[in-house]
Amino acid sequence: MAGDSISKNIDSSSINSVLIVSSLFGILHPNDMIPDYELMMKDKSPSGNRMHEWWREEFKRYHIVEMVGALYPGLKNIYCFMSMFTGYVDAVEDLGDRYDMFVVHVQNGNMYHSPGTWGKTLKSCLEVGASNPEAVARIIRPFGCELQNL
C-alpha cells in the first residue's frame, strides 16, 4: 500500500521534509504523537495574543527560518497544506522571506472537508515525489484544489 511506504519512508528519513504545525506544540515531525486538544491558531493565548502571533514570535526567537535552512539545505519551495484563514499560514509566513511559499487551497472547502482533502493531496504528492510547483498543482487539481503563491 502506498500509504504504508510513505510511513516507512518518513520513519527511515527518506522523506524528511514534512513538518506539522500545531497550535499547541509548534512545529512537529509527522511521527510525533499529538493528543486531542481544542486549541486553534486564531484562539487567544494567556498573554492576549492570538496563538498564530505567539508562535510567529516564538519561531523568530528560536530562529526557525535558519533552522529549516540548516535541516534542508536544498529546499526551495514550501507547500502549506493548511488554511490561509485560520492563522496557521500566518504563524509560518516568515519562511516566505527565504523560500517560495505556496498554499494548497481547497476550493469549496470548509473546516470539516478541507483537512481530509489536504491529507489526500499531501499523500498523493509524496507518493510521486512531487517537489516543484507545476507537479504539485497538477496532482492537487483533481481533488478540487489550486496552488496559490504567497
Tell me the average pLDDT of the chain. 88
Angle at 52 between CA 34 and CA 13, to 5 degrees: 45
CA-CA distance, 35 to 51, in Å (whole number)?
18
Query: pLDDT per residue over 78-134, tens digit each?
Result: 999 998 889 999 999 999 999 999 999 998 877 778 889 999 999 999 888 888 999
Backbone φ, ψ for residue 126 (5° rounding): -65, -35
Residue 46: is its pLDDT beyond 60? Answer: yes
Residue 1: is its pLDDT beyond 60? Answer: no
* Domain residue limits, the chain: 2-9+17-30+39-149
Length reported for the chain: 150
CB-count exposure of residue 144 (10 Å: 0-12, 13-18, 19+): middle
Residue 72: is its pLDDT beyond 90? Answer: no
Q: Which pLDDT band holds residue 60 (cuts at 50, 70, 90)?
A: very high
CA-CA distance, 67 to 65, in Å (whole number)?
5
